[in-house]
Amino acid sequence: MSTISIFGLGYVGAVCTACFAKKGHTVIGMDVSEGKVGQVQRGESPIVEEQLAELLSEGVAEGRISATTDARQAVFDSQVSFICVGTPSDENGFLNTCYLKTVCEDIGLALRDKDDTHLVVIRSTVLPGLVRGDLLPILEKASGKKAGVDFMLAVNPEFLRESTAIYDFFNPPMTVVGGIDDEASDALAVLYQGLDAPMIKMTIEEAELVKYACNSWHATKVSFANEIGNIAKQAGVDGRRVMEVVCMDNKLNLSSYYMKPGFAYGGSCLPKDVRALNAWCDKESLTSPLLASLSTSNDNQVERAMAMIRESGMKKIGLLGLSFKPGTDDLRESPLISLAAKLLSEGYRLAIYDSNVNYASKNSPVAEQLWNSYGELFECLVEDMDQLVDGSEVVVLGHATPTFKAVADTVNSGRLLIDLCGYLPGVSSEDRQGICW
């Protein structure tokens, strides 16, 4: 077991102090508040949280929990330091990082005179880039040492809900570890051994953003449910019953199916239904800002792809896919059609390949309607995928199909590949760019 120092005895710090001690670690709580330190030393909880007082009292009685206002001593007497201080909003909505920076400087000054390798863990909620851009330099300057060589550094976001924080610590959905290197990630992961949850190792920046993604998604769900509830009441029905049924669908509604970054939505259902519901709200003079923003956000994703093509400075574009999703010939409200139309309107030389869209068939009423609606785009369709690639400077991967993936794997470095569907691994490079990665 390790000896852990926890900087900040507020909500997160106090819970982590009690729970790490319960796991058998020795924990030193550190805070500038003598009042909080005194409470923890007496085994009392500085906040209201179910089970916390009992665990703190138990840890103090068994000699696994102590508290101090001496930052230097806390670092010297431990192998790991968790930073759990608050990151409140400033008057402009940005993070107030003064507490974080002060603690990092205190820890760095202590590390200057400590010979043993120490692990510093940022548990506070921080925006992507803050640790590597702001906090790491403070630690290195104050310590005179280098992260990844003389001390270890990692980010470890918490997913604790107030009133159920103890349960959440021991039953997390996942444990996220973002180390500056594998050594830091592995050292941090050891502290969570025994918890029945996936251990997710990420980069520092990914770990920073995960917490914001989760919280923003929770806020979106609350706002969505409230707006549906408002619409339901206006329509004279019970919004609670409506959302109960929505939540019963674990195949789509409460799944990862629609939670993958990529291109815009389209097809015969989502665009028209979102428009219809917003039109109904307008007719009823009912404000639903979240629902009203969906079409704008969707259009923005098409414009984002367009901007990537413009920035390339190239004019010969090959588009792999035209229907609104793979495995269908349905062109209704396809975002790829919107993208293609923009390209043609701006003078790009466009070639399109989609094996499900038969450019030569104009005999059926449906085909005739499609031809009349998208005739200019049909003129861009080619039968040979290799011909499209050979004649293009930019290849746009619009569908995640095995055939198109094989093409993407073989596109040479002389062409720019733009991925709209999430096939490319890792983040963008100079000649292989993803729309969201």
Active site residues: 269
Contact between 332 and 324 under an 8 Å Cβ cutoff? The reply is yes
Structure tokens at 173: 């959905």
Both ends of the chain: CA-CA distance in Å?
A: 39
162 annotated as belonging to a binding site for a ligand = yes
415 annotated as belonging to a binding site for a ligand = no
272 annotated as belonging to a binding site for a ligand = yes
3-state secondary structure at position 272: helix
Contact between 46 and 67 under an 8 Å Cβ cutoff? The reply is no
Residue type for position 356: N
What DSSP element (H or E) covers 201? Answer: strand 199-202
Strands 152-155 and 65-68: unpaired
Strand partners, 52: none
DSSP one-letter code for 161:
P
Residue type for position 321: G
Residues 6+ apart with CB under 8 A from 5: 27, 28, 29, 30, 74, 75, 77, 78, 80, 81, 82
CA distances from residue 292 to 240, 254, 275 in whole angstroms, order as listed? 21, 22, 8
Residues 6+ apart with CB under 8 A from 428: 434, 437
17 annotated as belonging to a binding site for a ligand = no
What DSSP element (H or E) covers 226? Answer: helix 204-235
Exposed, middle or buried by CB within 10 Å (0-12, 13-18, 19+), for 212?
Answer: middle
Structure tokens at 376: 């200019």
261 annotated as belonging to a binding site for a ligand = yes
328 annotated as belonging to a binding site for a ligand = no
362 annotated as belonging to a binding site for a ligand = no
201 annotated as belonging to a binding site for a ligand = no
431 annotated as belonging to a binding site for a ligand = no
Length of the chain: 437
3-state secondary structure at position 362: coil
161 annotated as belonging to a binding site for a ligand = yes
315 annotated as belonging to a binding site for a ligand = no
275 annotated as belonging to a binding site for a ligand = no
325 annotated as belonging to a binding site for a ligand = yes
259 annotated as belonging to a binding site for a ligand = yes
**Whole-number Å distance between alpha carbons of 274 and 292:** 8
159 annotated as belonging to a binding site for a ligand = yes
410 annotated as belonging to a binding site for a ligand = no
Binding residue ranges for NAD(+): 31, 36, 87, 125, 162, 272, 332
Binding residue ranges: 31, 36, 87, 125, 159-162, 211, 258-262, 266, 272, 325, 332
Binding residue ranges for substrate: 159-162, 211, 258-262, 266, 325
